[in-house]
Structure 1
């Protein structure tokens, strides 16, 4: 493959990226490229986000069921479902992962 074609993409093997514990019950594998970051996030059973998140997220539930609280109620995201949370107070959310349920979610965001 020529150098120009190789510069057009980057293959990431998440098996080679180390987990980073952000909070108890929340681990992340993150890779930054230019103005974006992609993350594989693990929400372990019993994890409760300490505050409301108002960041925008686009992602995909890889495994497990992700339980998210919004101002309007609770939504459960199943494996294979995508998610799109708008930034700001209109999309504010909080993960509340039930005991015994671990979810892996792939997210991409601007830095």
Structure 2
């Protein structure tokens, strides 16, 4: 079997350890599954979270619970609520997450989102 293939598996997210990442304000908790060229995370931002950096990485983001504001460096903002997503390739935006009340997201990123030239 090619080591880049991902065999069928289920993930019990309650068994995946959480890592803590501080923001400009608030805390992000990540539960991460890493595969070759693919990262899948359940991410929870605490109430009052503001990211401490502008991200240029590509993501597929799906809002599970709560509400998050996605702010672009040009000042544009949009809000995700449960059942909503955003998708962007690497290097196509500078964005950061902000939440007043807290949010839980499913975030998928990896090599497939690299900018195609």
Q: State if a TM-score over 0.5 links the two structures.
A: yes
Cα distance in 2 between the residues matched to 1:82 and 1:95: 13
Cα distance in 1 between the residues matched to 2:43 and 2:34: 14
SS at match of 1:15: helix
Q: Scaled by the length of structure 2, what TM-score is found?
A: 0.80
The aligned runs of 1:81-100 (5 Å cut-off) are 81-88=84-91, 90-98=92-100
- Other-structure match for 1:80: 83
**Deviation of residue 29 (structure 1)?**
0.2
* Higher helix residue share: 1
Return structure 1 stretches of 4+ with deviation > 3 angstroms: none
Indicate the RMSD between aligned Cα atoms, in angstroms. 1.6
Q: Scaled by the length of structure 1, what TM-score is found?
A: 0.84
What is the total number of aligned residue pairs between the two structures? 102
Distance verdict in 2 for CA 1:51–1:8, change over 3 Å: closer
- Structure 2: runs of 5+ lacking an equivalent: 1-5, 112-117
Cα distance in 1 between the residues matched to 2:14 and 2:8: 18
**Deviation of residue 13 (structure 1)?**
0.8
- Structure 1: runs of 5+ lacking an equivalent: 1-6
**Deviation of residue 72 (structure 1)?**
4.5
SS at match of 2:8: coil
- Other-structure match for 1:17: 16
Q: If you compute each CA radius of gyration, which structure gives the higher value, 1 or 2?
A: 1
